[in-house]
Amino acid sequence: MKVHLKKILGLITLLVLVNLASSHFFLRQDFTHDKRYSLSAYSKNLTKDIDKSILVEVYLNGEMPSNYKRLQREIRYILEEYAAYNPLIKFEFINPVSDDQNAMEVANQFYDNGMSPKVLNQMKNGEMNEKIIFPWAVAHFGDQKVPISLLSKNTKEETETLINTSIQEIEYQISNALKILTEQKSKKIAIIKGQDELGDLYIADAVRSLQNYYYIAPFTLDSVATNPQKAFEDLSKFDLIIDAKPKKTFSEEKKYLLDQFVMQGGSAIWLVEHVAAEQDSLMKNKDLFALPQELNLHDLFFEYGIRINPQLVKDLYCAPISLASGSGQNTEINQFPWFYAPLSQRNKSHIITKNLLPIKFDFANPIDTLKSDLKKEILLQSSPLSQVVGVPKEISLGMIQEKPNPDHYRSDRQNLAVLVEGEFESAYKNRLKPLQLSSSKEDGVNTSQAFISDGNIIKNEVSKGEVLELGFDRLSGNAYGNKQFLVNLTNYMLGDKDLVALRNKSIKTANLDQSKIKSSKTKWQLINIVLAPILMIIFGVVIQFFKKRKYIKN
């Protein structure tokens, strides 16, 4: 009896010790080959630091096709991982359309909140029906909330590819929302003004997106003329500057201020064009003259290892231009290839551009990289079927009728966006300085600059006074990767590289080969319909034969 009692007490003691250990040591094992259900170290650290309750409401719920059900399951699995690492993160799946609600009314409410529903065409009982789903979630943190997109922006993809891409992005989208809600902003961005840059309305969506992570304020270079030292001190409070499509020539004083900002370790994104050509003018007047645009930045960029040439890039791989024909109710919108709007080829190995949709350019210039000790990464290029056009050049909408000669498009890939990192040397080293600034430097500290040869990649469309999403073409309905590229680039340059890398998480999904299925369809039908029953009959006969032999022997 005592022996049994000791065994029972030993077992109870062991169970208590195991429970105590499990409460202090947390372990989850993911046996998938691509670790699709394992959170990255970045997401785990982000989740661990959350000390207040967060609720994620997922609206991808209700009746939907099997592909979207699969996406829903994957979202649930990932959310369970977040909740397992921090119980303060809770989630629930909600069907936004109840039995007594009109789906279109709910869809309009989602539209008003910047969350576009998805309309699916389904064949049911021989009839084509429309089904509205809501591939969105909203993360709530106190009185703050952030929408989470659950479906990839590339709506032109086949459904299977679209779902797979969306699954890959789930962790990024959730961690991105958690970062926005829980982490305090610390970095500051200055939007350069005073050189006839793009107006606030046309960079509103980019600014709105970047404001989720950083403080943003305009900075007017005109203050250099009145008090250069104060202007320099004020600019030095920022971590990064964005100059979005300047059109006026820079004075030496302004250039020197920007040069010294870089020497002090500030980062810069230059969206600069050295050719004056505007699509708005082309659409209005049916033609334009593309002319060189002198900004007085050549020597500055040359010292930084970059040259933006006063030429235009034409590319057979391009975005369409939408033109109207007819009038009144008979108006039709037709699309034509527009070779002055290259769809850039991304650097597939760099975390900034990996897995991005094509980025749309308008009247872009080719960029040369110059030999130096600085590290240069080509982020975006035109396709191999490109042509470089000199200016002045007359450009007309009538060109859409011309059939391109492939022999004229042999200029190979042209650089459209380049990231340069390292310790820059001042463009005014061993030169007379246009200003006297305290703590000026001729050799800079380690920093980064991005050079993009088209200011329009940051320009959003405006319709009836409403700001449209950057990268969305309302006439063609195409979505481009402009906004995500700018967000990734800014995150990377300001130290959020782990977040950018998270977006590139790769998940391998085992898809059926549709061509093989089609070619072997008849064979497998015969196997299932004819061969299977024959084998069952043979098996039954054999079993019966052996049973009879057994009974005969007995």
Per-residue pLDDT tens listing for the chain (554 residues): 555 666 677 777 777 666 665 544 444 555 455 555 689 999 999 999 899 999 999 999 888 888 999 999 999 999 999 999 999 999 999 998 876 678 888 888 898 888 989 888 766 666 667 788 999 999 999 999 999 999 987 656 678 888 988 999 999 999 999 999 999 999 999 999 999 999 999 999 999 999 999 999 999 999 999 999 999 999 999 999 999 999 999 999 999 999 999 999 999 999 999 999 998 899 999 999 999 999 999 999 999 999 999 999 999 999 999 888 767 677 788 899 999 999 998 888 899 998 899 999 999 999 999 999 999 999 999 999 999 999 999 999 988 988 899 899 998 999 999 999 999 999 999 999 999 998 899 999 999 999 999 999 999 999 988 999 999 998 888 899 999 999 999 999 999 999 999 988 766 555 555 556 556 667 767 776 777 778 778 877 777 777 776 666 55
Residues 218 and 234 occupy one common structural domain: yes
Domain co-membership, 346 together with 476: yes
Q: Answer whether residue 552 is part of any domain.
A: no
One domain for residues 119 and 154? yes
Instruction: Please report whether residue 550 resides in a domain.
Output: no
CATH code assigned at 381? 3.40.50
Q: Where are the beta strands (DSSP E) in 391-442?
A: 393-396, 415-425
Indicate if 158 and 93 belong to the same structural domain: yes
Position 133 in a domain: yes
Cα within 13 Å of Cα(474), Cβ side: 10
Q: Based on the fold, state whether residues 285 and 155 are members of the same structural domain.
A: no
Residue 360 lies in a domain: yes
In this structure, are 170 and 235 located in the same domain? no
SS3 of residue 190 by DSSP: strand
SS3 of residue 268 by DSSP: strand
Domain count across the chain: 2
Burial (CB < 10 A; 0-12, 13-18, 19+), residue 339, is: buried
* Cα–Cα distance, 409 to 316 (Å, whole number): 8
Q: Which CATH number characterizes residue 37's domain?
A: 3.40.30
DSSP H or E run through 438: none
Same domain, 302 and 409: yes
Task: Work out whether strand 188-193 and strand 393-396 pair parallel, antiparallel, or are unpaired.
Answer: unpaired
Which residue in this structure is represented by tokens 């308008």? 362
Q: What is the CA radius of gyration of the chain?
A: 30
202 and 178 within one domain: no
Structure tokens at 515: 């061509």
Q: Is residue 528 part of a domain?
A: no
Q: Answer yes or no: do 174 and 196 share one domain.
A: no
Query: How many whole angstroms separate alpha carbon 139 and alpha carbon 344?
Result: 33
Give the predicted TM-score (pTM) of the model: 0.84
- Calpha distance 504→522 (Å, rounded): 40
Tell which of 182, 206, 223 closes a domain: 182
Inter-helix orientation angle 252-263/228-235, to 10°: 40
Q: Where are the alpha helices (DSSP H) in 97-218?
A: 103-112, 159-182, 204-210
538 located within any domain: no
Same domain for 232 and 286, yes or no, is yes
Which of 456, 476, 502 marks a domain boundary? Answer: 502
Co-location of 159 and 306 in the same domain:
no
Domain that holds residue 269: 188-502
Distance CA 7, CA 300 (A): 82
Which residue among 462, 487, 502 closes a domain?
502
Q: Does 513 reside within a domain?
A: no
Whether residue 117 is contained in a domain is answered as yes
Residues 172 and 112 in one domain: yes
